[in-house]
Amino acid sequence: MDFDNGKPIYLQIVDFFYENILMKRWMEDERIPSVREVAMMVEVNPNTAIRAFNHLQDLEVIYNKRGIGYFVSEDGYTKVLDIKRREFMEQMLPDVFKKMTLLNISMDDLKNTYNQQENEKK
Amino acid sequence: MLTVRQLSFNYPNSRPVLKSIDLDFETGNIYGLFGKNGEGKSTLMKIMTGLLFPKSGTSTLHGDNVKKRNAESLQHVFFVPEDFELPSLSIATFEKVQSPFYPKFSKEKFYELIEEFKLYPTNIISKLSFGQKKKVLMAFGLSTNTKVLLLDEPTNGLDIPSKSQFRKVMASAVDEGKCIVISTHQVRDLHSLINHVVILDNASVIFDQPLETVSEGLWFGKASNPDESSILYSESSFGGKTILARNDMEETEVDLELLFNGVLSQPNKINAILKDFHHGPRV
């Protein structure tokens, strides 16, 4: 079976955290918004926001200082980079490869398009 | 906190609107109350706030029968009905007259919301549009800080920016130990806020589950080659959205519209799957 499905909201909030950490908007050892602030920001039930916080805490991307709030872990950036790289390699690339086979696009075609884009940037 | 037991109701000379309803509403949750038109959602809310009396059964708040209309209990409840009449007073006078009934009323919050909704304390309420009147009542309701807040079609008549403001306010309200019950057909406006679904049909509760249980047990989306036997409900036979038993599949976001349609057409199948989860259904 192949599925095209909606990602649970709590995981979308997790992605929002990842983006902020990767873009260095949230720095390591810096305090991040509270559960309530995040719930208001993204307009969700605080219970959903808590799930995202718990998930990130389990992955040791963030940590909780009792009574103060949540902080990005000391090695939070590296952790997120690892997670997102793995996600790219294990989830996104297989889809790309599948499409490449379907559309008969070779690795060379891919390389050329990549180089072309890099040149245009310059 | 708010408990409904064996509650039945019918309007004079009509069929029953509610039959033997059992429900429990607890703090820290936002309940979504769904049902087709005329299935008794508004009636139930009116009974839970003492505006209508049940034919039999009880609705209690902290053990106190709402029917008795005790001021000590009713000061903990606020109800924003779908249709309402407001006096031709200024917003400020309305606040002065009404707020003493609610001991935890926050004047500061009220005027903050009034400002956010682009209204002025000097506005005469009867001269405002329907949407603006609704905003006044909603701002008032949210500022009463009652333990129970019942909202009947809260987003009807609200413009697009106000819907977003409304969601933000709701998201911040719930963790203050409140119990919020929202009846709505505008599922898209509120799906990210609701964490417990109650569905009424044929005057009965046919579904009563926390969303956590729903997302543990069910899978929502488009399945390209589903195994016929695993389909619990499908919108159309070709490429439509389906509900499947989740089993070992990845968690998906609960599609409330699909869930509603699915439960109306296959209540037994869907409830049977969810019965096995530990959160303990009551249906």
CATH number reported for the structural domain that contains residue B149 in this entry: 3.40.50.300
Q: Is A122 helix (H, G, I), strand (E, B) or coil?
A: coil
Residue B157's pLDDT is what? 85
Number of H helices, E strands in chain B: 10, 13
Q: Give the CA radius of gyration of chain B.
A: 20
Rounded Cα–Cα distance for residues B195 and B190 (Å): 10
The answer to whether residue B263 is domain-embedded is yes
CA distances from B228 to B225, B233, B243 (A): 9, 10, 12
Please give the pLDDT value at position B165.
86
Which chain B residues are Cβ-neighbours of A2 within 8 angstroms? 223-225
Among B178, B201, B224, the domain-final residue is B201
Q: Are B104 and B146 in contact (CB under 8 A)?
A: yes
Residue B71 located in a structural domain: yes
Of B181, B201, B221, which residue constitutes the final position of a domain? B201
Region of residue B50 (left: phi > 0; alpha: psi -120 to 50; beta: else): left
Q: At what angle do helices B91-98 and B107-116 cross, to 10 degrees?
A: 150
Among B182, B201, B220, identify where a domain stops.
B201
Give dist(CA B48, CA B66) in Å, integer: 7
- Asked if residues A71 and A63 have their Cβ atoms less than 8 Å apart, the reply is yes
Minimal CA separation from B236 to chain A, in Å: 16
Based on the fold, state whether residues B63 and B195 are members of the same structural domain: yes
**Residue B281 in 3-state DSSP?**
coil
**Amino acid B278: pLDDT:** 59
The answer on B130 and B114 residing in a single domain is yes
Report the C-alpha gap between B160 and B170 in whole angstroms: 16
Instruction: Compute CA distances A122 → A111, A118, A119, B198, whole Å.
Output: 17, 7, 5, 57
Kindly report the length of chain B. Answer: 283
Class of A9-75 in CATH: mainly alpha
CB contacts of B247 in chain A (<8 Å) are none
The mean pLDDT of chain B is 90
The model's pLDDT over B153-176, given as tens digits with 9 standing for 90+, comes to 998 888 888 888 889 888 888 766
Give CA–CA dist B124/B122, Å, rounded: 6
Q: What's the distance, CA B138 to chain centroid?
A: 14
Residues B113 and B196 in one domain: yes
A44/B227 CB distance under 8 A: no
The pLDDT assigned to A96 comes to: 93
B190 and B221, same domain (yes or no): no
- Chain A CA closest to residue B193: A45
In angstroms, the separation between the Cα of residue A77 and the nearest Cα of chain B is 26
Residue B5 exposure: Cα atoms within 13 Å on the Cβ side: 10
| Structural domain boundaries enclosing B269 | 209-274
Residues of chain B contacting A4 with CB distance shorter than 8 Å: 221-222, 224
How far apart, in Å, are the Cα atoms of B262 and each of A111, B5, B253? 47, 26, 15
| Per-residue pLDDT at B173 | 81
Q: Do A5 and B226 touch (CB under 8 A)?
A: no
**Selection from B65, B45, B60, B57 nearest residue B19 by Cα:** B57
The CA distances from residue B41 to B46, B83, B150, B201, in Å, are 9, 14, 11, 10
User: Is B101 inside a domain boundary?
Assistant: yes
B147 and B43 in a single domain? The answer is: yes
Question: In angstroms, what separates the C-alpha of B121 from chain A's closest C-alpha?
Answer: 26
Domain assignment of residue B31, yes or no: yes
pLDDT value for B161: 87
Inter-chain CB proximity A43 and B164 less than 8 Å: yes
Does a structural domain hold residue B279?
no
In chain B, how many domains are there? Answer: 2
Do B114 and B36 share a structural domain?
yes
Encode pLDDT of B47-65 as tens digits.
Answer: 999 999 999 999 999 889 9
Are B190 and B246 members of one domain? no
Find, among B173, B209, B175, the residue nearest to A47 by Cα.
B175
Helix axes B91-98, B130-143, angle to 10 degrees: 40
Confidence grade of residue A5 (pLDDT, cut at 50, 70, 90): low
Local confidence pLDDT in tens for the 283 residues of chain B: 899 999 999 999 988 999 999 999 999 899 999 999 888 999 999 999 999 999 999 999 988 999 999 998 899 999 999 989 999 999 999 999 999 999 999 999 999 999 988 999 999 999 999 999 999 999 999 999 999 999 999 988 888 888 888 898 888 887 667 899 999 988 888 888 999 999 999 999 999 999 999 999 999 988 766 677 778 888 875 667 888 888 888 889 899 989 999 999 999 999 998 987 755 444 4
Decide if B226 touches A, using CB distance below 8 A: yes
- The token pair that represents B236 in the structure block: 């159309």
Beta-carbon separation of A46 and B174 below 8 A: yes
Contact B224, B234 (CB under 8 A): no
**Rounded CA gap, B138 and B170, in Å?**
11
Beta strands B56-61; B64-65: pairing state: antiparallel
**Distance of alpha carbon B131 from alpha carbon B161, whole angstroms:** 12
B15 occurs within a structural domain: yes
Regarding whether B227 and B244 lie in a shared domain, the answer is yes
B64 in any annotated domain: yes
Q: What confidence score (pLDDT) does residue B281 get?
A: 44
Is it the case that residue A60 has pLDDT exceeding 90? Answer: yes
Backbone φ and ψ for A120, nearest 5 degrees, come out as -60, -35
Which residues neighbour B230 within 8 Å (Cβ) at sequence distance 6 or greater?
A: B244, B245, B247
Q: In the structure encoding, which two tokens stand for residue B23, read together? A: 């429900």
Task: Please name the residues in contact with A20: beta carbons below 8 A apart, sequence gap of 6 or more.
Answer: A26, A32
- Report yes or no on B280 lying in a domain: no
